[in-house]
């Protein structure tokens, strides 16, 4: 069983329009709603890969009930979300069918009270000892302490459970100091953490700050991994156009699934890159194009990075 934590869950709403233009009205050709937030996207990809997964975090209000209702339809997924008084947020993705580009609008999350935060911590501490790995994903809703992820990492490590962290800002800075097993930033998050826009130097610095392994998402250039076993680059065979929402979450799912399957790092990166590209081709976040994944996984190029040995 894999545990994903989404403290700021969402209802992801995807609109498709023939062409997105500012300052005018649009006729929407399709609307799709899915449970969202980074950890829920990760969980759906993991479940599609055949892994049993438990999701926890916060949910509230009418939007939260929709999220939980939709989660019941996902085979292999267990709902351990903790209720809050405030409403779960919505995120809006507008896909321009002419260009394939996506515009994203993200609402803030509900304000979490100290009692609600304590209830979540109790749930998390009960779940951790029975899982094979933990993913801590996404932003912190208002009211949650900025050092929340650092505390959750320490709880997982005390139980001997490997933990992956995927967040940003001060939550990332505090979290990396708690020594997560895998840190999964994108290029901007990595630069903000380390002050360096040179990925090789930045991944090395992030490891010095506490992360055991760092896997940085570099957009169309794929992934750069710095681990105790070595450094690798993994690149997709072609540039993929589509909806990028959830591509980074697919990377997390690829890393986690291959971690619990005890695959070597090159195979982990191959799966992560192929899943990310296959997710861009899917219409909504948290899903991936199975045919594209099967085709891409054999074409991902993984090279040893000897330049920063």
To 10 degrees, what angle do helices 38-48 and 247-260 make? 50
Is residue 126 annotated as a catalytic residue, yes or no?
A: no
Q: Helix, strand, or coil here: 297?
A: coil
Spatial contact of 285 and 211, defined as CB atoms under 8 Å apart: no
List, in sequence order, every beta strand (DSSP E) within the chain. Answer: 2-6, 10-17, 30-36, 53-59, 77-79, 82-83, 89-96, 102-106, 133-137, 163-166, 182-183, 213-217, 223-227, 230-235, 301-304
Q: Helix, strand, or coil here: 257?
A: helix
Catalytic residue among 12, 181, 249, 289: 249
Place of tokens 């998390």: 124
Across the strands, what pairs with 215? Answer: 225
Close Cβ partners of 220 (under 8 Å, ≥ 6 residues apart)? 236, 239
Which two three-digit tokens encode residue 167?
A: 């967040």
| Exposed/middle/buried for residue 273 (C-beta within 10 Å: 0-12, 13-18, 19+) | buried
Query: Which sequence positions are flagged as catalytic?
Result: 249
């Amino acid at each position: 069983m894999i545990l994903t934590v989404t403290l700021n869950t969402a209802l992801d709403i995807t609109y498709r329009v023939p062409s997105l233009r500012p300052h005018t009205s649009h006729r929407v050709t399709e609307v799709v709603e899915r449970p969202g937030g980074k950890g829920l996207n990760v969980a759906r990809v993991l479940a599609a890969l055949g892994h049993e997964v438990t999701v926890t975090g916060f949910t509230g209000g009418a939007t939260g009930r929709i999220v939980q209702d939709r989660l019941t339809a996902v085979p292999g997924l267990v709902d351990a979300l903790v209720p809050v008084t405030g409403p779960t947020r919505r995120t809006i993705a507008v896909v321009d069918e002419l260009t394939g580009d996506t515009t994203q609008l993200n609402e803030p999350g509900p304000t979490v009270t100290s009692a609600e935060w304590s209830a979540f911590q109790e749930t998390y501490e009960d779940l951790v000892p029975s899982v094979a790995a933990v993913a801590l994903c996404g932003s912190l809703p208002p009211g949650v302490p900025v050092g929340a992820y650092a505390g959750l990492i320490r709880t997982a490590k005390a139980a001997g459970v490997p933990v992956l962290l995927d967040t940003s800002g001060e939550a990332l800075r505090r979290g990396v100091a708690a020594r997560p097993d895998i840190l999964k930033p994108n290029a901007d998050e990595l630069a903000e953490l380390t002050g360096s826009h040179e990925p090789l130097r930045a991944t090395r610095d992030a490891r010095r700050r506490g992360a055991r392994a760092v896997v940085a998402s570099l957009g169309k250039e794929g992934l750069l991994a710095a681990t105790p076993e070595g450094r690798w680059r993994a690149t997709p065979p072609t540039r993929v156009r589509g909806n990028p929402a959830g591509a980074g979450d697919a990377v997390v799912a690829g890393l986690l699934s291959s971690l619990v399957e005890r695959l070597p790092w090159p195979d982990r990166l191959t799966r992560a890159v192929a899943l990310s590209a296959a997710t861009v081709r899917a219409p909504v976040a948290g899903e991936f194009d199975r045919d594209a994944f099967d085709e891409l996984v054999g074409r991902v190029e993984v090279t040893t990075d000897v330049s920063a040995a």
